[in-house]
Amino acid sequence: MISIIIPTFNRAKVISKSIESVINQTYSDWELIIVDDGSTDNTSDVILPYLKNDRIIYIKQENKGVCAARNYGAEHASLDYLLFLDSDDEILTECLEEHVMKLEKSKQKIDIQISGITKVDQKGNTILLPEEKHELFPDYKSLLLCGAFIINLKTFQKLGGYNTNLKYSENTELGIRLYLNKPIHSVIDRTLAVYYKNDKNPNRDIKERTRSLLFLLNTYKILYKQRKLIYCKYLVLLGRFLIDLNKISAAKKILIKALRINPINPKIYYAFFKTVFSI
């Protein structure tokens, strides 16, 4: 019923907990596809003992990034639904069973089914997500994070998979394309996965987040502009990223655009103040 895909790159120290969270499922009709995205550590040594389980498949590719690895895993999937899981995250033991029970109760073919997820930050603090409805997809009532949704294999193939040009916000971008195709969706109102927040290189993340955010705002401009306050929020976020990257002139232009949309937002004035005084 469900193919779990774990892409990994140099995660030998943590991938075992992800694999074992799949093995320990109360539901048994699954396959696990581990895609090694060109690891240079001892990932293969860690994975080798698990291959005694004939439901676990281990494939390798040269380093192409997480989106390409997820797509490659999907190409090898043989079951009806996909669940993408990062190699340092976990699904709860009843995750797959809950998803299948919900699918079997539906009278329609579900394109995407979403659950809650627990986020654990680097200090060990936990936050139950979603804290509120998804801004772009309010009907989903959840976030699109790996581990927190399953997607029909044929639906995923029809969408063309993940955008391999993105290194950040790739789930949001996939969700937008899905949303524009008016999917049949379902929601499980409970947490079924654990997401471990890990910011190893914040400067690189800001560059990638800036690039990805620009792509989203430019590519799906009509969708964002239909939701003006959300559009304004992301313009402010983009402005803050540009400030952090010391691109002050570009930040000013973005923040002025945001002010025209929502002139009473104090966050915009604070960000604009930073551009004027370059602090």
Distance CA 68, CA 73 (A): 9
78 contacts 31 by C-beta, under 8 angstroms: yes
Q: In the chain, what are the domain boundaries?
A: 2-196, 202-277
What kind and span of H or E run contains 120?
Answer: strand 112-120
Looking at residue 279, its pLDDT comes to: 47
pLDDT in tens, the chain (279 residues): 999 999 999 999 999 999 999 999 999 999 999 999 999 999 999 999 999 999 999 999 999 999 999 999 999 999 999 999 999 999 999 999 999 999 999 989 999 999 988 989 888 888 877 655 555 565 554 568 899 999 999 999 999 999 999 999 999 899 999 988 989 999 898 999 999 987 644 555 889 999 999 999 999 988 888 888 888 888 988 998 998 899 989 998 998 888 888 887 776 666 666 665 554
38: left (phi over 0), alpha (psi -120 to 50) or beta: left
Distance CA 105, CA 99 (A): 10
Looking at residue 275, its pLDDT comes to: 63
Going by C-alpha positions, the residue among 99, 87, 109 that lies closest to residue 21 is 87
CATH number of 2-196: 3.90.550.10
